[in-house]
Amino acid sequence: MKKTCVLGLDFGTASVRGIIVDTADGECLAEATVEYPGYKRGDFCDPSKQQFRQYPADYLDCLEKVCREIVGPYKDSIAALSLDTTGSTPCLVDKNFTPLGLTEDFKDDPDAMFIMWKDHTSDAEAREITALCQSSEVNYAKNCGGDYSPENFWSKILHIFKTNPRAANAAWGAVECCDWIPAVLTGCKSLGELKAGHCICDLKHMHSAEWGGYPPEGFMKKLDPRLVEFSFHLPRKHYFCSEKAGVLTKEWAERLGLNEGIAVGVGNVDSYSGAVGAGIKYRKLVMNMGTSACYMAVMPEETFPDKIIPGVFGQVPDGIIPGHIGFEAGLSAFGDVFSWFRSLVSWPLEEGRELIGEEKVKTLENKLLSKLDKAASELPFRDDAAIATDYLNGRRSPSPDTSLTGTIMGLRLSSSAPEIYRALVEATAFASKAVIDNYMNNGIEIGELMGIGGISLKSPFVMKMMADTLGMEISAAANSNSCAIGAAVHAAVSAGIYPDVASARDAIAQKAVKTWKPDPQMHRVLMRRYLRYRKIAGLEQAQ
């Protein structure tokens, strides 16, 4: 019997991942990953300024490569595709709906590229927006826990308006990456006709039905009068990611090796998509542990009071599963912390690239974290061991502060690389506990933990540290590409194969492949160090 399949696509920080899923049982039939060449080279990025940008064409070129690698034998079985991307990752567009970075006049301007989620160059603007929200009759940052972030849409746009008049004057509007790619694939030619996603708009854009859409003209005018007309050009209507953005055009069908006319779903935020791909439901927390960490939970709308949860990064009605309030909080750097340390200790390898070759150096770098993982897991526990904070990209939750930096305390001449790595892993576990405690202290019920992403499968040490610190069992999803699987769930609904997200989730979402149980004795020991961490970090209610 012929299979009915869908294609899920996840446009992450460093690469795009594609997966073909059998809609009957969620079997993953083919998958591939392609890295963005520009991001790998560091084009338009300056980590010293927390500036991270992405060339628009890289998204499309890598999409084509992924599809060409996996679609082949499944072409006629694929009924729909859906995708998610990082967010907020917006790009300025001209009146013709062309990203400025794809025009000749702005091809070398970083501000004309997609401004990646982790870009924090707009920290000052985020603080300005937060202050204005808090002094307004309505707090338009309500869906962001009351604190607007430099990782969000209007902070990034306002920063360009203040610092790059040339780009600001050329911009007709801006588009999120998760909205732009479906628009390209379906032939949408104008910003006004765009089928923008509900999740990204309510989560990152200060958009809400409660106050009639975007913040009113008077609010925007106080930030920058030019934003008033700019905001009028943005789409007024938004759609759930289980709906169709349109159908695949002939041009893109040929480029991707797919059939013309298949359904293309409305775009989604990667963290939300990953939660669905891991089977999120009431009382099940999904821990998306990638370059950053996003911890997702849902509560039935009728059971949760109308209040702002302080310290969350997102709180959106119908944001993850219809009928539920979707919550997001997490760490601004997770895997990035470990990657930074790997780069630090492997710096001498840079001198050897010409001598031993690029491939051998890459192999050594890839092995390094697994060796550090094993060595750190074998260290005898010492209560006076080095202790770290994980804020190498600021703090996202539960007390947002992007100006914070990472620290390592208690170093001695005897301190080794595995000891420092252990301190960094412990810091991410402590930060995770602070986030989850904040959830539960504010009435969000959590009874089950599932980790998704590459780290959950590759690092037993990280997962065991998480379980011991949280004092709860934590499982790992069977496939590291949960976000792409979540996109596949939404594709199945947009194609009409399933009537709603819940039924598609139950059929397609992943099951747990491994579980780590906490050691009660180690948990007690770690809690002594956790109290020290809270004091060092300056968290509220530090003891």
pLDDT digits (tens, 9 = 90+) for 461-476: 999 999 999 999 999 9
pLDDT at residue number 540: 58
Alpha-helical regions (H) of 378-500: 417-441, 454-458, 460-470, 482-494
Residue 236, pLDDT > 50, answer yes
Name which of 180-184, 304-308, 312-316, 444-448 the model is least confident about: 304-308
Taking the C-alpha atoms of residue 203 and residue 142, their distance in angstroms, rounded to an integer, is 9
Taking the C-alpha atoms of residue 173 and residue 320, their distance in angstroms, rounded to an integer, is 27
CA distances from 386 to 333, 410, 416, 429, 495 (A): 20, 4, 10, 15, 53
Q: Which structure tokens are listed for 491?
A: 């594709």
- Nearest by Cα to 490 from 267, 220, 335, 304: 267
**Amino acid code (one letter) for 171:** A
**Amino acid code (one letter) for 100:** L
Find all residues with CB under 8 Å of 350, minimum gap 6, and list them: 361
More confident residue, 339 or 90: 90
What would the DSSP string read from start to end of 75-136? Answer: GGGEEEEEEEE-SS-EEEE-TTS-BGGGSGGGTT-GGGSEE-TT--TTHHHHHHHHHHHHHS
Residue 433, pLDDT > 60, answer yes
- Residues 493-512 have a mean pLDDT of 94
Name which of 182-186, 250-254, 418-422, 509-513 the model is least confident about: 509-513
Name the packing angle between helices 270-277 and 501-508 (round to 10°).
Answer: 60
pLDDT tens for 150-171 read 999 999 999 999 999 999 999 9
Find all residues with CB under 8 Å of 107, minimum gap 6, and list them: 101
The residue count for the chain: 543
- Residues 16-34 have a mean pLDDT of 96
Q: Is 33 helix (H, G, I), strand (E, B) or coil?
A: strand
Residue 355, pLDDT > 70, answer no
Are 513 and 476 a contacting pair, CB within 8 Å? yes
Write down the mean pLDDT value for the chain: 93
What global pTM score does this model have? 0.90
pLDDT at residue number 308: 80
Strand partners, 81: 7, 264
Residue with tokens 């700019």: 230
**Amino acid code (one letter) for 264:** V
pLDDT at residue number 1: 53
- Range 497-503 contact pairs with CB under 8 angstroms and sequence separation of 24 or more: 497/4, 497/6, 497/23, 497/79, 497/80, 498/23, 500/242, 500/322, 501/242, 501/276, 501/321, 501/322, 502/321, 502/322
In this structure, are strands 78-85 and 263-265 parallel, antiparallel, or unpaired?
A: parallel
Taking the C-alpha atoms of residue 436 and residue 162, their distance in angstroms, rounded to an integer, is 37
Residue 282, pLDDT > 90, answer yes
pLDDT tens for 337-352 read 998 998 898 887 776 6
pLDDT tens for 299-327 read 999 888 878 888 888 898 888 999 999 99
Residue with tokens 């149980």: 517
- Residues 200-211 have a mean pLDDT of 91
Residue with tokens 């399949």: 5
Taking the C-alpha atoms of residue 76 and residue 360, their distance in angstroms, rounded to an integer, is 40
- Nearest by Cα to 125 from 167, 162, 90, 89: 162
Residue 541, pLDDT > 70, answer no
Is the N-terminal amide bond of 398 cis, ω within 30° of 0?
Answer: yes
Q: Which structure tokens are listed for 532?
A: 């020290």
More confident residue, 425 or 456: 425
pLDDT tens for 126-154 read 999 999 999 999 999 988 888 899 999 99
Q: Which structure tokens are listed for 526?
A: 């770690």
Alpha-helical regions (H) of 149-308: 153-163, 165-170, 177-186, 198-204, 217-223, 226-232, 250-256, 270-277
- Residues 90-108 have a mean pLDDT of 97
Opening angle at CA 204, ends 198 and 207, nearest 5? 60
Taking the C-alpha atoms of residue 457 and residue 445, their distance in angstroms, rounded to an integer, is 26
Q: pLDDT class for 354, splitting at 50, 70, 90?
A: low
Taking the C-alpha atoms of residue 44 and residue 320, their distance in angstroms, rounded to an integer, is 32
User: Which phi and psi angles does 282 have, rounded to 5°?
Assistant: -55, 130
Residue 368, pLDDT > 90, answer no
Strand partners, 304: none
- Nearest by Cα to 261 from 273, 246, 241, 274: 246
pLDDT at residue number 223: 96
pLDDT at residue number 542: 37
Q: pLDDT class for 284, splitting at 50, 70, 90?
A: very high
